[in-house]
A and B are shown apart, each in its own frame.
Chain A
Amino acid sequence: MSEVIIEVKDLMFTYGKSQVKAVDGLSFKVKKGEIFGLLGPSGAGKSTTQKILTRLLKGYGGTITYLGKDLSAYDNTFYEDIGVGFELPVHFSKLTGEENMAFFSRLYRKQVDVAPLLKRVGLYEDKDKMVGSYSKGMKMRLNFVRALLNDPKVLFLDEVTNGLDPKNARIIKDMIRAFKEQGGTVILTTHLMNDVEELCDNIAFISGGRIKEIATPRELKIKYGKRILDVEYALNGKTKQNTFDLDGLSNNDTFMSILKNHDIETMHSGETSLDDIFIKVTGESIHE
């Protein structure tokens, strides 16, 4: 059984004098080597949860343990273990990309060679340019490199592919997968279902500060999908459509006859998308 890295029990948090709980009784576990997705629309409480887990917000209710020890018992050396990729660019705009990385790197005991990371995300050629001249996509890629500077065990990533074109989003997703394959653990906060489907082993849907559903993407699809198969086929020059139950499909004579005697045009199972599941589970749209 995999080691539990982070365990959250009945987590509660309220900002200042607000009457509304930003986080209201969250409980979940993140195992070593897992990519855990926190999903939800804006204001759902996912970024607040991440800020609590990274010890930026104090005064929460409930308990959080990191490697079996209460999170509040850690001092700032906890940050030697983790890397955080923020949703917005977090760099000094009048320093170059390389100067930014060099400065932050020196604050850690363990440091990685930055050049290969910059090369991997396609920023090596621009390392001597001031970050202020970077595009948003470049700044987000630098954010990701910043999160890896101390060779962390756990990565907290907030909307990490936000503002990236498909090619660069692919590079970042490949790097996240490689990080996982090397034993790293990732907590991914996002509202982008593509990222979730591609990367996450487990996901928690959050709405109104509460977890509405927590499972693997496959379990959710099975739970919320329809066990049907839609088949479109050609008959006398026209398209015909039939729907079959997945249960007992191999014994369904009509289905078998269509397969044998007609040209199949399309075939779709009743599998639902994570977008649809989210709307079903929370009653809210996932997109901002």
Chain B
Amino acid sequence: MNNFGTLLKGEFQRLSKYKIMQAGIGVSLLWVATLFLIGPDDAGMFLPLFVFMDVSLMTVLLIGSGLFYERQENTLKTLLITPTKFSHIIYSKLITAVIIALQSALILGLLGYFFFDVGIQFHYLIAFTVLISFMHAMLGFVFAVLLKDFPSLLASIMLYMIVFAFPSIFYALDILSTTWSYILIISPTHASMLLVELAFGEPVNGWMIVVSIVYLIVITLVFAKWIVFPNYFKKAIED
């Protein structure tokens, strides 16, 4: 097995040992229970919202907490003195986060499809989950680079929710009018929300889809090129 495979396997082993994967599955099951409580009439409205929360906010929390654990335990330093490419270390974490997000999205998607008769376009669901969770995993790295400790991470995720996620959730629940859609497009969470809604068969303006996809890709690249790759290892070494 090459080093990338070893790193990926190690990430999954640690996700399990540190109970992060179990926590992720637990949250998905919580959404499942909530959907059954809501009942089939409204489940279709709430399901995209739960998928969105899982693949975006949960991904930031999952990767951010993992990175802070790693900083606390000084394990990144010892990885950096192995014959492993630095980029492989980052990609192994990103891919792990994407796979966990896919697992959650598919659990909820399949539940909606089989139990609540929700029309789901699974190819969109898979593609957009990859894009959204990849962008949010990169955001988790950004937080790890910029923030000092775990409480700061939690506070920043809360702030991100309040500033970006809540308006998108209010919009999805029809609390905000459609005019807001054009304003909210500057929010990465809203771009994510639109793509999730599309996967669940809701009508979304064609150019908004394009803008959302391009926006998420651009943000991911900007985070990667100017914040994560130049600073993540430097910070770990200088700590």
Chain B 75-97: CB-based contact to A (< 8 A → 1; otherwise 0): 10111111111000000000000
Contacts A57-B237, A103-B6; A79 near B81 (Cβ below 8 A): yes
Of the listed stretches A2-10, A93-101, A258-266, name the one at the interface; the rest are far from the partner chain. Answer: A93-101
Residues of A with C-beta under 8 A to B75: 90-92
Q: Nearest Cβ in chain B — how far from A169, in angstroms?
A: 21
CA distance A108 to B77 in the complex (A): 16
CA distance A54 to B13 in the complex (A): 28
Residues of A with C-beta under 8 A to B73: 89-93
Check if A94 sits within 8 Å of B78, measured CB to CB: no
Interface of A is mostly: loop
- Number of A residues near B (Cβ < 8 Å) is 30
Check if A80 sits within 8 Å of B83, measured CB to CB: yes
Which residues 6-29 in A have Cβ within 8 Å of B in the complex? Answer: 15-16
- Number of B residues near A (Cβ < 8 Å) is 23
Check if B74 sits within 8 Å of A76, measured CB to CB: no
Nearest-neighbor residue (CB-CB) of A84 within chain B: B81
Q: Is A224 an interface residue (CB 8 A)?
A: no
Q: Is A104 an interface residue (CB 8 A)?
A: yes
CA distance A104 to B73 in the complex (A): 15
Contacts A15-B238, A146-B78; A94 near B6 (Cβ below 8 A): no
Check if B81 sits within 8 Å of A56, measured CB to CB: yes
Check if B78 sits within 8 Å of A86, measured CB to CB: yes
CA distance A235 to B6 in the complex (A): 76
Contacts A88-B74, A90-B75, A106-B6; A56 near B83 (Cβ below 8 A): no
Check if A79 sits within 8 Å of B82, measured CB to CB: yes
- Give chain B's interface residues, CB within 8 Å of chain A: 1, 3, 6-7, 10, 13-14, 17-18, 73-75, 77-85, 237-238
Interface CB pairs A-B, < 8 A, 30? A15-B238, A51-B237, A54-B81, A56-B77, A56-B81, A56-B237, A76-B85, A79-B81, A79-B84, A80-B83, A84-B78, A84-B81, A86-B77, A89-B74, A90-B73, A90-B75, A90-B77, A92-B14, A93-B73, A94-B14, A95-B13, A95-B14, A95-B17, A103-B6, A104-B82, A106-B1, A106-B6, A107-B3, A107-B84, A108-B82
